[in-house]
Chains A and B, each alone.
Chain A
Amino acid sequence: MNAISIKNLTKTYSNGTRALKGVDLQVSAGDFCALLGANGAGKTTIIGILTGLVNKTSGHVEVFGHDIDREHQSAKRVIGVVPQEMNFSIFEKVEDIVVNQAGYFGIDRKTASAEAEKNLRRLRLWDQRQQMAKNLSGGMKRRLMIARALVNKPRLLILDESTAGVDVEIRHSMWEFLGELNSGGTAILLTTHYLEEVERLCRRAAIIKDGLIIANDRVKNLVKMVARETYIVHVDAIRSLEKIRGYHPVMIDENTFEVELSKEERLNEFIAYLSQLGMVVTDFRPKGNRIEKLFLHILNSQTGIGAGL
């Protein structure tokens, strides 16, 4: 069964903006899927429609088989959402925010308190439970929204840029937490600008541009589409630079340079060639984010996924 099944979804806002122009998207139960796109591409509109915050113009949306029009309460019962913007009362206590949310899902107070304690402890907020939300740091507020979203034990968790503005350490602990959740069977739909996050966490990724899904595949397969990759090469000393000019190296310092290799150019051969030139390779690593490269290529492409990636 699909956690999310979206068919020909359109949304035109009252000001005439066509945010979605016929989106088709399926996310399997238990999957971890990223929804990527530039600002204004339609990501938050899709999430808004799934969670009942935005009225769709046309199309068909199901969450675990529940039609969001005819069975909206059943659909909402299995969804937990962590929005992009803070959307809780800053004058409420942390624990009350989580427990009240459980109440809105019809969960009795005793069960809700136990669930809230479990989630607040896991997200390292238990010590702040009696504080007013306004006194929390930005990272704590984000984690509070995750704790709140989990209180009804959702089968589908939707995160809309939930790690934005969070420091590196907390972001990594959130990744670990989300990974555990997904391993436990919770399907996750994630939008993010940190593409490293996608490569690390997600099995699938869909890319949306101007209200249309232009790519939807396993992250592994998408990454394979990147024909060239940049590496950072650290050597004991750069000798015979003119002989590697054909690779268009970019010097970083006296021992380090960047080089872009295509799929056809084997790494071992390149390293062996450097040895022949008398350079001892002391470190060799990909520059970073392959999916970022893919993302930019797809977004810049006028014809969807085309040649030249």
Chain B
Amino acid sequence: MTGNGQYIAYATIVRKEVTRVLRIWPQTLFPPVITQTLYFLIFGKFIGSQIRDINGINYMTFIVPGLVMMAVINTSFVNVVSSFFSSKFQRSIEELIVSSTSNEVIIAGYVTGGVVRGIIVGSLVFLVSILFTWPRVQHLAVIFSFVILTAIVFALGGLLNAIFAKKFDDISIFPTFIMTPMIYLGGVFYSIDNLPPFWRMVSKFNPVLYMVNGFRYGFFGFSDVNVFASFMILAVFAVVLTLVNLVLLQRGTGLKT
């Protein structure tokens, strides 16, 4: 198939994914916005008013980037893992396998679907945050770079999970037992500078810390970690996960017998 043919295949997967997300928006877009709104209310408004400023930023404003990023991470992962696994479960993934669509395009299509949903939800959460505070924006390019790269990494993670998943339980194990603790301990609600040295060191092994802090740097101009290093770590994750997914699809792991 020519380059144009592969582009048409890519556009078909993306259109199908985005149509699905928009068709069932009460399931795909609304719940994360409600959850984050509750975080703004409880942690930002009710509890946050009793917490001192962090680097001159009031607590409500401080948690905005973290909560937006949390929504992006969860949504981009969940979109791909649920969509790809449902396709496996219903066997509609065979439509792609028997076609001349390349594995690279399959990955790109599903990941784009996850990124689009992640960015829509992230934007909605950001709009909600404006009801509570007015976060300043210092480096727009950094914000976009981090949000897109983070969404890509977690969408790829979702695809990896879906490839290995054999039953619906398998698609909730990673988000519940690995991803959620990583997000909550990734500096969404606090600066690691406020942690004891041991936990500060442990936190540095958490990739979510780099995503949240890079993103936060775009808003406030400060970060607990080196922003360039954060970007590179994310880029390496994206490349490694892409290659792993590609090898698995080429082998037919979880898809072919």
Contacts and interface: CB of A to CB of B under 8 A. Distances in A.
Please indicate whether A and B come from the same complex rather than being unrelated chains.
Answer: yes
Interface of A: 13-14, 48, 51-55, 73-74, 76-77, 79, 81, 83, 85-90, 96, 100-101, 103-109, 148, 152
B91 interface: yes
Given A13-B257, A100-B95, A106-B9, 11 more contacts: A55-B251, A74-B100, A76-B100, A77-B100, A81-B98, A87-B92, A87-B94, A89-B90, A106-B6, A106-B100, A148-B95
Contacts of B256: 48, 52-55
Interface residues of B, number: 30
A106 B12 CA distance: 9
B257 A48 contact: yes
Interface of A is mostly: loop
B214 to A, nearest CB: 36
Contacts of A105: 1, 5, 9, 99-101
A108 B98 contact: no
A104 B101 contact: yes
Contact of B98 (A52, A85, A86, A96): A52
23 contacts: A51-B97, A51-B98, A53-B97, A55-B256, A73-B100, A73-B102, A74-B100, A76-B98, A87-B90, A88-B90, A89-B87, A89-B90, A90-B90, A96-B16, A100-B95, A101-B99, A103-B12, A104-B95, A104-B96, A105-B99, A106-B4, A106-B8, A109-B8
Contacts of B18: none
A172 to B, nearest CB: 27
A76 B99 contact: yes
A209 B86 CA distance: 35
B25 to A, nearest CB: 15
Contacts of A81: 98
A85 B257 CA distance: 16
B95 A87 contact: yes
Contacts of B91: 85-87
Interface of B: 1-2, 4-6, 8-9, 11-13, 15-16, 86-87, 90-92, 94-102, 251-252, 256-257
Nearest to A48: B257
Given A53-B94, A88-B92, A100 B16 contact: yes
Contacts of A106: 1-2, 4-6, 8-9, 100-101
Contacts of B251: 55
B211 to A, nearest CB: 32
Contact of A55 (B4, B6, B257): B257
Nearest to A77: B100
Contacts of B1: 73, 77, 105-106
A85 B2 CA distance: 31
Contacts of B15: 103
Contacts of B13: 103-104
B8 A52 contact: no
Q: Which A-B residue pairs are the 3 nearest by beta carbons?
A: A106-B5, A103-B12, A104-B99
Contacts of A96: 16
Contact of B100 (A89, A104, A109): A104
A13 B102 CA distance: 25
Contacts of B95: 87-88, 100-101, 104, 148
Contacts of A103: 8-9, 11-13, 15
Given A55-B257, A76-B98, A108 B8 contact: yes
A276 to B, nearest CB: 62
B20 to A, nearest CB: 8
B145 to A, nearest CB: 30
A105 B91 CA distance: 18
Nearest to A88: B92
A143 B9 CA distance: 24
Contacts of A88: 90, 92, 95
Which has the most chain A C-beta neighbours within 10 Å: B4, B98, B102, B256?
B98
A74 B99 CA distance: 10
B98 A79 contact: yes
Contact of B252 (A51, A55, A74, A100): A55
B96 A89 contact: no
Task: From A14, A103, A108, A148, name the one whose CB has the most chain B CB atoms within 10 angstroms.
Answer: A103
